[in-house]
Amino acid sequence: MKLLISALTKMVIGFLLVAVLLFLPAGTLNFGGGWLFMGLLFVPVIILGMVLFIKAPSLLEKRLKTKETEKTQKGVVALSALVFLLGFVLSGLDFRFSWTCVPVAVKAVACLTFIISYGLYAEVMRENAYLSRTVEVSGDQKVIDTGLYGVVRHPMYAATVLMFLSIPLILGSFVALSAFLLYPVLIAVRIVNEEKVLTTGLAGYSEYKKKVKYRLIPFIW
């Protein structure tokens, strides 16, 4: 029950926070892109949360843990929060003052990309029972090298990069895209630091890095 209350509380707070950051700058609730994005974001969150609560409550508990201990990771999390705050506010202001116009076809592709990315994210969670939102190594943790982990070493981050870069396009703002473009840079910093932790603390990770060469994008990095 404690886990359920914690999950529901964080979801409600997240919903209200995103709503305020989008609709307050927009100056209206008649922001179609805002409602579209919130539907694409929170409906899968509810479904995934219910599945985890029933089938993998320990993993859900890990995903609810957000307090970082690594200094570098704390900085990355703080800057990422600023990116989202700025991106959402700019999206609302863009709608309010009609600074830019994203074509319907581009919005459709962005929606499809967001949904596919969510599917990849869910698959990563299915493959890796040790997946946490914070950078840490648990006592019984093992290296996962199958499925998406056989393609890149950080498939969850790859999924989030695709997901988050599609957000401003779903919201209909090229202006906000400029803010969200900072996210891949922050993820790269997070990955470099995380791999230092995993290499020293997780048995077999050094061998895994030799087996799977690419961190985030196949054939590139």
Could you tell me if 186 and 83 are in contact, meaning their C-beta atoms sit under 8 angstroms apart?
A: yes
User: How many angstroms separate the CA atoms of 153 and 150, rounded?
Assistant: 7
User: How many angstroms separate the CA atoms of 148 and 120, rounded?
Assistant: 8
The whole-model pTM stands at 0.83
User: Mean pLDDT across the stretch 135-149?
Assistant: 71
Q: Which of 79-88, 131-140, 190-199 has the lowest mean pLDDT?
A: 131-140
Could you tell me if 72 and 52 are in contact, meaning their C-beta atoms sit under 8 angstroms apart?
A: no
Token duo for residue 175? 């202006």
Whole-number pLDDT of residue 158: 93
Instruction: Please state the domain extents for the chain.
Output: 2-211
User: Mean pLDDT across the stretch 123-141?
Assistant: 64
Fold category of 2-211 in CATH: Four Helix Bundle (Hemerythrin (Met), subunit A) (1.20.120)
Token duo for residue 133? 């939102």
User: How many angstroms separate the CA atoms of 137 and 154, rounded?
Assistant: 15
Nearest in space to 31 (alpha carbons), one of 103, 84, 77, 98: 98
User: Mean pLDDT across the stretch 78-84?
Assistant: 90
Nearest in space to 42 (alpha carbons), one of 65, 8, 4: 8
Whole-number pLDDT of residue 32: 94
Other Cβ atoms less than 10 A from the Cβ of 9: the count is: 11
Nearest in space to 23 (alpha carbons), one of 88, 114, 101: 88
Whole-number pLDDT of residue 82: 92
Q: Is pLDDT at 61 greater than 70 in this prediction?
A: no
User: How many angstroms separate the CA atoms of 105 and 169, rounded?
Assistant: 10
